[in-house]
Structure 1
Amino acid sequence: MKAIVCNKYGSPDVLHFTEVDKPVPQDNQVLIKVHAASLNYGNLVLLKGEPYLARFAFGLLKPKYSIPGGDIAGRIEAVGRDVKQFKAGQDVYGDLSGCGWGSFAEYVSVPEHALALKPENLTYEEAAAVPMAAVTALQGLRDKGRIQAGQNVLINGASGGVGTFAVQIAKSLGAHVTGVCSTRNVGILQSIGADHVIDYLKEDFTEKGQKYDLILGVNGHYPITAYKRSLKDHGTFIHIGGSGAQLFQTMTLGTWFTITGRKTMTSLLQRQNQSDLNFMKDLIEAGKVKAVIDKTFKLSEVEEAFKYFEQGHAQGKVVITV
């Protein structure tokens, strides 16, 4: 089969489109014919080996997982004898980041707990855009943020993959949502239901005096003190993405602010979760959430897809068609 192979850390130039052996499913695995995959921040970490702490999970000197790709959508071709939830011929989607990655290929074998049935109203490309980004947003809002109906929620970096899902999920859970983005993305946030959109090129939300119950920092350069200033008492800030300096501030100053004050400031590490995939399936089939796709690339064009994605300006998701 054809696949994208990465045998050393580096820029997208180290990726190779080549032939590899087709996998054989183990007793607890399903063999999937991949129709689509997508890019996430974790793909960049796996490609570059940065930050260096990530190499303890991904391989110290070279990638432990030679075929990258976490998000997946496709059709089951075969199942191992111990598989209980799925059968051949079913359409599925899932997150392979916790079980060896490998979706940038024509086929992949994965444990059944990494998968859920694909939402019936989505194409393969749309479904592949969902798993990691949507579950990250869900876990940030619901599990870490403990979002409640009627709360004022701000999403900074609202026009990217995680951000577009966060806006829609927060709305579906009854929150009043403000999205922060650049001028060219204002229309996207309005189209997916944001109650208010702040163009960061024209105004600084941390200087407006408005305070929020929950803030998701998906991107941006604001210091932790600026986020703290924008929180209500007993409000919560969750760092999901951004610079390494922001993460360091959240882990140090944020922890101190949380211990000594009345505001919670923490970070999120997304975890693969089948129940959350099923939760998102229900929201999507109910018409409450949709995938926003910026560009699609062929499997043979993954190098170009990475170069585009790492610029950090994608409107929604970047998808790979297989």
Structure 2
Amino acid sequence: MYLKKALWAEGVAAAKASPESEAEQAPAATAVQELVNSLNRQRVYREVTLALKTGLRDARAEFSFLRVRGLRSLLKFLRSVAESDSTIQLFCQTQSLSELQVVPALFQHSLKEPEDESVENLDHIFGVEPLKITSPSTDAEVALALRVLEGCCLLHSESTALAHHHKAIPVLMNILSTRGVLEQGACLDALISIMLDSSANQMDFETCNGIEEVAELIRDKQGDENLRLKCGEFLLLLIGHVNGRERPPLAAIHEDVRRLLGEKSASLIWAASQFGSTLDPKERLTALHIQARRVLESLDLY
């Protein structure tokens, strides 16, 4: 969604630069500007809803290649929305409408558990209704869906509640334990986005023994190094967020990490998780990568 400035808005701006008396023009100019702003908000809202409807139409399709196209469109749309506070607000408004909600569509299609579609009888051949077959989600589709889920939860906090309604944590933990590196990396980012401000999702993560699963991945010295680094970043972000918590969920996360990764690595993670609160986003991201590398090195020493 890339919006061009309306031609009539440019005309209004040019009219304001005329040499007539500003005192005489002030009331009329104010009224016209308010009208222009109102029309512009309506136009942007139409663009937002159109982009959502177009992306969701494909994301709900029966064939994987169409769903991938829809997910790419939605991801591009979310990146465009994130550039402006006003468009973020409009996106949040659209998520109160069930037909425009993105998260349910993800769990009903791309992130849906595969079902047994074996044909038990041939009644559909002789009937009016054809047999409906949905192609399974590919690795690329699952990874894209997780990125879209991450974006929705970061832009719209209520999307975490929608994710919880669709049992997001068990679904994502299954992806983390059974899928490939591409999906696992996207899954870790999505887990952070749906857990940071959601106690319900944090409780589900604790129930699913999520820390044990992440610890198993980061301890695997034969595993993909980038995935292990991503696990380190995940632990740093999560522990930094829940640090000092004395009540569930995740109240015992420090003890769990110490038990699973050892005293030295656990202490390093705890200390490193306090980094960068005064840094700008780019410096904070760089610091996160550096600290995750140190965590990995501390594990590889043993």
Q: TM-score, normalised by structure 2?
A: 0.29
Report the structure, 1 or 2, having the larger strand content: 1
| Structure of larger gyration radius | 2
TM-score normalised per structure 1: 0.27
Structure with the higher helix share, 1 or 2 = 2
